[in-house]
């Protein structure tokens, strides 16, 4: 083997770097794995002896951390030192949408990637393999290579091989996705470097699931994969309103179309719109790249996926207001679920943020409960839309109240809005909740998870996304 790998450094201890390296450590006991980050608080949490203090919640993660941390898996802020010891370096830092300057609102902000490349160039030893784990615009490897290959008087003999190895895990199922991936994608043009990375994955992934491509196809495939997934959600969500108008039911439609193997049954759950840190940013980036190359039709096609997503959350807020007799000013509304999907504490781009913001603007008092999102995070996400004295006080003239259970969120509320599909919301005690609420009371199920018959029996007015069969009576779609 031209590149024997004994020591790995992963830059970025986030939602990707932490779980991915935990799995590497589990299956590669002979390799020392250092996960480094500039963020001191995050590293402190990764090293916490109390496992429920880990910086991210991911089912199955605590066990793997407890079994491997301190053996061959280490978390630290010693970025330079750990880079200098590594045979292979993964770049797993954030690549959010640019907030200002050229391409603001669309292009990826590559300042963290640029910083990593410079750190690697300065501190890495000769013949290091650098692996792009972060999701990047196509051709970023070229930029990284230019920075790495810039003349370095201190170390004239340094040379680097760059690979693209995008990550396809989904939050909430990251451990299963990492242990049983549909595929592992490796792009590059140095066969020995590619073989070194394949050799690592072969310890737990079947050979036929490891795909190799050129660098640009690998980088681009990651963006396109996310674009196709998000497009399915916008497609099904665009039909929810039509179902509500025509008396059809989106659940039935999803099953009917998904039974065609050419379409497939996955990723057809209607909801309040996709959230998460990546879909919007990656499609925005795709739109930016297409426009950059003058491919305006391609750009407009993908832009529509984002537009429908925005429309879906606004549509839900409007439906809530209209059903509550046209005004929610001063009314209490219980929000059940704040994370962008179940089984994660991540709130980045959560549809709950947009919907809560719109309800607050209409004057509602929100009582928010999520099983895993901590109070501070909810306050941080929503405080820009409130005056300080409107936050988190149980007295009735405050607009944002953190609740520690579904019951607490229901107390004195006029409506409940289910925004995340947590298991515990599938089986709520509707009778108990109805007794706590102000009559007439409503439930708005944006995830189609509740037992509506039970809710109706307890006197709830029920609205469910994409369900036109509920149109009779006083439901306003």
How far out from the chain centre does Cα 158 lie?
Answer: 37
Where does this chain touch ligand UGA (CB under 6 A) — which range of 108-116, 138-146, 271-279, 357-365?
271-279
274 contacts ligand UGA (rule: CB under 6 A): yes
Q: Which does 39 bind (CB under 5 to 8 A by kind): ligand NAD, ligand UGA, none?
A: ligand NAD
Q: Which positions ≥6 away from 72 have C-beta within 8 Å?
A: 25, 28, 29, 30, 31, 32, 33
3-state DSSP helix/strand/coil % of the chain, to nearest 5: 45, 15, 40
Which entry of ligand UGA, ligand NAD, none binds 226, CB below 5 to 8 A by partner kind? ligand UGA
Q: Residue 213 has what DSSP assignment?
A: E
Q: Which residues, 123 to 182, sit near ligand UGA by CB under 6 A?
A: 135, 167-171
Task: State the binding partner of 233 from ligand NAD, ligand UGA, none, CB within 5 to 8 A by kind.
Answer: ligand UGA
Give the position of tokens 């490891």: 210
Under rule CB under 6 A, residue 229 binds ligand UGA: yes
Contact 368, 402 (CB under 8 A): yes
- 197, 131 in Cβ contact below 8 A? yes
Q: For residues 340 and 441, which CB has a smaller minimum distance to ligand UGA in the complex?
A: 340
Q: Give the residue nearest to ligand NAD (CB).
A: 14
User: Among the candidate windows 164-172, 307-315, 335-343, 400-408, which touches ligand NAD by CB under 6 A?
Assistant: 164-172
Residue 336 touching ligand UGA (CB under 6 A): no
Residue 278 interacts with ligand NAD (CB under 6 A): yes or no: yes
Q: Which does 14 bind (CB under 5 to 8 A by kind): ligand UGA, ligand NAD, none?
A: ligand NAD
* 148 phi/psi in degrees, rounded to 5: -65, -35
Sorted by sequence, the CB contacts under 8 Å of residue 351 that are 6+ apart come out as: 271, 272, 273, 274, 275, 312, 313, 340, 419, 446
Among candidate residues 9, 28, 116, 278, the one labeled active-site is 278
Is there binding between residue 340 and ligand UGA (CB under 6 A)? Answer: yes
- Does 171 contact ligand NAD by CB under 6 A? yes
What separation in angstroms does the CA of 149 have from each of 8, 126, 185? 21, 12, 25
Q: Is 218 in the site for ligand NAD (CB under 6 A)?
A: no
Instruction: Reply yes or no on whether 10 is catalytic.
Output: no
Between 346 and 414, name the residue whose CB sits nearer to ligand NAD: 346
227 binds ligand UGA per the rule CB under 6 A: no
Q: With CB cut-offs between 5 and 8 Å by kind, which of ligand NAD, ligand UGA, none does residue 68 bind? A: none
Considering only residues 9, 32, 93, 124, which one is a binding residue for ligand NAD as defined by CB under 6 A? 93
Separation of alpha carbons 353 and 275, rounded Å: 10
The single residue among 68, 128, 240, 277 that binds ligand NAD, judged by CB under 6 A, is 277
Helical packing angle, 351-361 and 375-382, nearest 10° = 60
For helices 250-258 and 215-246, the axis angle rounded to 10 degrees is 130
Instruction: Give, as ranges, the residues between 113 and 132 that touch ligand NAD (CB under 6 A).
Output: 115-116
CB count, 10 Å around CB of 209?
Answer: 13
The helix or strand, by DSSP H or E, that contains position 416, with its residue range, turns out to be strand 415-418
In 3-state terms, what secondary structure has residue 304?
helix
CA 356 – CA 353 distance, rounded (Å): 5
Instruction: Kindly report the number of other CB atoms within 10 A of residue 278's CB atom.
Output: 25
Of 11, 335, 406, 428, the one binding ligand NAD by CB under 6 A: 11
**Is residue 370 near ligand UGA by the rule CB under 6 A?**
no
Q: What is d(CA 340, CA 376) in angstroms, rounded to the nearest whole number?
A: 16
Name the 3-class secondary structure at 342: coil
Decide if residue 39 touches ligand NAD (CB under 6 A): yes
Nearer Cβ to ligand UGA (147/311) = 311
Stretch that binds ligand UGA, among 55-63, 70-78, 113-121, 276-284 (CB under 6 A): 276-284
The binding site for ligand UGA (CB under 6 A) comprises 135, 167-171, 226, 229, 233, 267-269, 271, 274-276, 278-279, 340-341
Active site amino acids: 278
């Amino acid at each position: 083997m031209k590149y024997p790998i004994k020591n790995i450094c992963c830059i970025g201890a986030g939602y990707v770097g932490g779980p991915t390296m935990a799995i590497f450590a589990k299956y590669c006991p002979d390799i020392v794995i250092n996960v480094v980050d500039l963020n001191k608080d995050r590293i402190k949490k990764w090293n916490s002896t109390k496992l429920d203090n880990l910086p991210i919640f991911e089912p199955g993660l605590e066990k793997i951390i407890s079994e491997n941390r301190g053996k061959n898996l280490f978390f630290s802020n010693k970025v330079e030192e750990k880079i200098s010891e590594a045979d292979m370096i993964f770049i797993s830092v954030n690549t959010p949408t640019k907030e200002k300057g050229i391409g603001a609102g669309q292009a990826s902000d590559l300042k963290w990637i640029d910083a990593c490349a410079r750190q690697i160039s300065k501190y890495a030893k000769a013949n290091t393999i650098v692996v792009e784990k972060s999701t990047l615009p196509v051709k970023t490897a070229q930029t990284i290579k230019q920075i790495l290959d810039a003349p370095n008087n201190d170390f004239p003999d340094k040379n680097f091989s760059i690979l693209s190895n995008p990550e396809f895990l989904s939050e909430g199922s990251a451990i299963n996705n990492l242990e049983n991936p549909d595929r592992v994608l490796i792009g590059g043009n140095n066969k020995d470097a590619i073989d070194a990375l394949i050799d690592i994955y072969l310890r737990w992934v079947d050979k036929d699931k490891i795909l190799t491509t050129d660098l640009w196809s690998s980088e681009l495939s990651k963006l396109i994969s996310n674009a196709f997934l998000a497009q399915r959600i916008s497609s099904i969500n665009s039909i929810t309103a039509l179902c509500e108008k025509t008396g059809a039911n989106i659940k039935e439609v999803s099953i009917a179309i998904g039974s065609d193997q050419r379409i497939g049954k996955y990723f057809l759950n209607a909801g309040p719109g996709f959230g998460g840190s990546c879909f919007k940013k990656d499609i925005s980036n795709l739109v930016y790249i297409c426009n950059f190359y003058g491919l305006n039709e391609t750009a407009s096609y993908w832009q529509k996926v984002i537009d429908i997503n925005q429309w879906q959350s606004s549509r839900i807020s409007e439906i809530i207001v209209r059903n509550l007799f046209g005004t929610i000013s001063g009314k209490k509304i219980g929000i059940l679920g704040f994370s962008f999907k179940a089984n994660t504490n991540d709130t980045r781009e959560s549809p709950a943020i947009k919907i809560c913001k719109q309800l607050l603007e209409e004057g509602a008092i929100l009582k928010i409960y999520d099983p895993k999102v901590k109070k501070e995070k909810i306050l941080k996400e929503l405080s820009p839309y409130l005056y300080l004295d409107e936050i988190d006080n149980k007295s009735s003239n405050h607009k944002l109240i953190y609740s520690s259970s579904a019951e607490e969120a229901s107390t004195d509320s006029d409506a409940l809005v289910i925004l995340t599909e947590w298991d515990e919301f599938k089986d709520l005690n509707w009778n108990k909740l109805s007794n706590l609420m102000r009559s007439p009371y409503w439930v708005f199920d944006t995830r189609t998870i509740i037992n509506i018959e039970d809710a109706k029996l307890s006197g709830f007015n029920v609205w469910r996304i994409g369900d036109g069969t509920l149109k009779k009576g006083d439901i306003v779609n």
